Amino acid sequence: MTRLHLFDLDGTLIYGSAAPVEISRQLGLEREITELERAFARQALAPQDFALRVRELWSELTEQQVADAFEGAPWLAGIREVWTDITGRGEHCAVISLSPDFFVRRLLEWGAHATYGSRFPAVPFREPVRPDGILNPAAKVKIADELCEKFGVTRSECVAYGDSMSDVDLFAVLPTSVAVNADQHVNGLASYAYVGRDLRAAYELTNKRR
């Protein structure tokens, strides 16, 4: 059986942090992004509103700062090794995140077969954010179904890895899921739970089932 592995980014592949936090840190805007993240977590900001606010916050953002944020993020260990193993088995892996696509797509260089993020204008920003390009939790299910069709698998052959409320919709429709350093929103839905800083251990939980 071939499988499709679907990974969240913020709080899952990045330990205890998120792409917007790491980007904002490069700009010295930790306090501002913390306030926005808290508002988003309590659902006081919709994904589109959050994106519009961070677009304003990052008005001076450069490509070098994005690269520095990516390189300096607290990534889980073993991401490349896991994706190499997945590819070696003839399986596929993708990252689906609500974070900006210009950050998420850098993971293609690490071995992801596909990446999806909220569509932002090119850095440095010269254009506004289009609300219709911003992903929400329900969009993760739609993208997962599109990837199933692309790679010739069904939902029953998918494994989702996530940590929070943005993953609830996907965990609800897939029979196999791994809660990675997760909060209460997904722990009760997940097939497996992992706490730690090495993706290889979380991945191995699903291989033991096989």
What pTM did the predictor assign?
A: 0.96
Task: Domain ranges for the chain, please list them.
Answer: 4-15+76-209, 19-71
The pLDDT score that the predictor gives to residue 2 is 87
The pLDDT score that the predictor gives to residue 188 is 87
| pLDDT tens-digit series, residues 135-154 | 999 999 999 999 999 999 99
The pLDDT score that the predictor gives to residue 209 is 56
- For a pLDDT cut of 70, what percent of the chain falls above it? 98
The pLDDT score that the predictor gives to residue 207 is 86
* 4-15+76-209 is classed CATH 2.30.30.360: no
List the one residue out of 151, 117, 112, 114 whose CA is nearest residue 135.
117
The pLDDT score that the predictor gives to residue 124 is 95
The pLDDT score that the predictor gives to residue 81 is 98
Distance CA 201, CA 148 (A): 25
pLDDT for 210 beyond 60: no
pLDDT for 71 beyond 70: yes
Lowest mean pLDDT among 117-121, 182-186, 202-206: 182-186
Of all helices (H) and strands (E), which one includes residue 63?
Answer: helix 63-72
Q: What is the band of 106 on the pLDDT scale with cuts at 50, 70, 90?
A: very high
Question: DSSP 3-state assignment of 51?
Answer: helix
Token output for 130:
């289009």
Distance CA 173, CA 171 (A): 6
Question: DSSP 3-state assignment of 46?
Answer: coil
